[in-house]
Each structure stands twice: as structure tokens, then as C-alpha cells.
Amino acid sequence: MSEKDTISIHLVREALLQSCAPGMATTEALNKVGIDPAWLDLPDARVPATAYARLWRLLARRMDDEFFGMDPRKLKSGSLEFLCRAAMAQPTLAQGIEAGLGFLSLMLDHLPAQLVRQQSLAEIVLLEPEPQPKRAFTYFAYWMIVHGVACWLAGRRIPILAIELRSPQPDFCDDYQVMFSDNLRFDRPRTRMIFSADCLDLPIKRNAEELKRFLAHAPANILVKYRDPESLATRIKHNLRQMPPDTWPETEGLAATHCISASTLRRRLAEEGQTYQGLKDSVRKELAIVWLAEPQISFAEIAARLGFADISSFYKAFRKWVGSNPGHYRSLILSEAD
């Protein structure tokens, strides 16, 4: 992301596409929420996330639809609150997600969904009745609601391993990668979000006061999960992605490239809640997940690319990262729709 706590103007245009008439109506709506209408013509413009949230709420009130008019049936005002109440009444996160998906499947004609658990992996699958896919923004708006509520129910961020969409890749994906996952795949047989199943058994312990606070800040509190682009950890991860893992420097060499001592490097990463080993593991996991989606790349080749001495070391590390062995993960990723 080029700026912290901002949303690309591309997503503003997407939100307006079906929910606001062009011309004076659009100009009036944008001015009301503090977005300069002239920015619509600037491809690199960004707006505060709080302004984007105000736009979402304004359009939802005016249309009586919290889903930007992207389904034949309206997701009427108050739907998010009802979804949260239904979900928080369940004992576990799995049952909370199922309750939420059941509600959304009743409310939206074209986006029925189900939660599927396969050993250590879980996926939320959209069972779309139409042959033609939706546009990417429709899917991402749906994931924003579902994932945002799930994280609130769990009381922590739920890492997304991959998102697959039936739609072709849009011209702009940067914000989607930051909001959800670097691992976005398009033109797939079905639309689904894949994550580790270890969170599904978490108990739900939310009360009415917490719900009130959550709704008071929605949707701003589910819009973005930004990484600080200026942080040392972010810069290190960016640099690691540009190099083969077997050429990654040791701590002392890395510190030298940043013109600081090794002890200072460790201290600054610790201040950001990171370690160098953790950053390397994170990048290795990202690369492994991407390569496992390509069946022509063998496990031995992936292990070698990641700098592991042998396949068994790769298997052990992958199970630690994801909670599943690479073979099971690949079979899930490559499985065709039922």
C-alpha cells in the first residue's frame, strides 16, 4: 500500500457502479462523505478508509442495501447487525460462521455459501447458480463482510491462505492483496476462501456491549488490515521476495545492508513484534502456497527452491506453518468443484 489507512479510488468507483446514479447524484454523495469527486479521474488517488466507510454507510441507507445493489435481493439495512447477533449466539466459531453464511444465503439470491472442513484446512465456498461469474468487487465485498465478522467473533485476525475467484483478474488488485492475502487466484472453477481450520473450534464470547461497539465502527473496522509500508519488517520481506531463498543473508549480513548492527536489527524487529526467522518463514510459506497451486512443480523442486536440504525438512516446516502436509494442501487447492 502506498499510504496507511487509505483505500484506492478504484474501489470507490466500484462501490458507486451499481449503487449511485452518475452525475450530480455521485458528486453530492462523495462531497457528503468528504471525498473530492475530481479524484475519480485520478487513477492513483487514495481516500481515507474512514471516508470510504462513510460512503458505504451512506449508500446503504439510501438504497436500504448493505451490499451496494450487487444482488437481485437487497441486503437490507440492519442485516450486518442481525448476522452478528445470530453468529455470536453460537458456541464456537465454526457454528458462528455457519449461522452467518446461512443468513447471507437466505438474503442473497446469487451467493449461497457453505463452510467445508477437511482435516486441518477449511474453506468457505460460494455455490453460485449462475454460469457467469460476478465481478471481482462483488466477491471481495462478500469476503470483507464474512471475514471481518469471523475475525471479530474469534477476537483475532484469521490468516487467509488463499482466495480463488471465478472472475478474471481486475486491473487493480493491490488493496485486495493487503486486505485479504497475497495469494489471489482468478479464473478458477469456483470462488472460495481457504484458511487453517485450527480456529474453528474457538469459543465465541461476545456480549451485547461489544456488539454495539463493533457496529458503531463498522464497516471501517473491517475494511483494511494494513501493513506499515515504512516498517523494517515490511522492507525486509519485500527484499526477501526478490531473492532466491538460498541466497538470503544471515542476520549480520542483513544488518549491514541496512547500515545497522545485528543487535539493533533484532531490537527494531522485536519492537515491531517480529523476528528475522519469522519473516523468512512467512515468505517461504507464501512462496510454498503459490507453488503448490501449480501441479507441474514437484514437492522436491519446491523444497529446493525454498532452500530446504530435503523434502522431509520442507514437509515438517509446512505442517508447522499451515497445520497440514503439502500433499493434502495441494489436493484441496486443485480439487474440482463438486
How does DSSP assign 247-284, residue by residue?
GPPPHHHHHHHTTS-HHHHHHHHHHTT--HHHHHHHHH
pLDDT of residue 303: 95
| Torsion angle (degrees, nearest 10) of CA 89, 95, 96, 101 | -130
Structural contact between residues 90 and 115, judged by C-beta atoms closer than 8 angstroms: no
Q: CA 336 to CA 226: how far, in whole Å? A: 33
Beta bridge partners of 192: 125, 164
Beta bridge partners of 160: 195
pLDDT of residue 62: 92
What domains does the chain contain, in order, with CATH numbers? 6-223 (no CATH), 232-334 (1.10.10.60)
Q: Residue ranges of the chain with pLDDT lower than 70?
A: 1-4, 224-230, 336-338
The CA–CA distances, whole Å, from 158 to 153, 232, 324 equal 10, 23, 16
* Residue 137 grid cell: 468487487
The CA–CA distances, whole Å, from 280 to 178, 216, 247 equal 19, 38, 12
Name the pTM for this structure: 0.78
The CA–CA distances, whole Å, from 154 to 2, 8, 143, 244, 246 equal 29, 28, 16, 36, 37
pLDDT of residue 18: 85
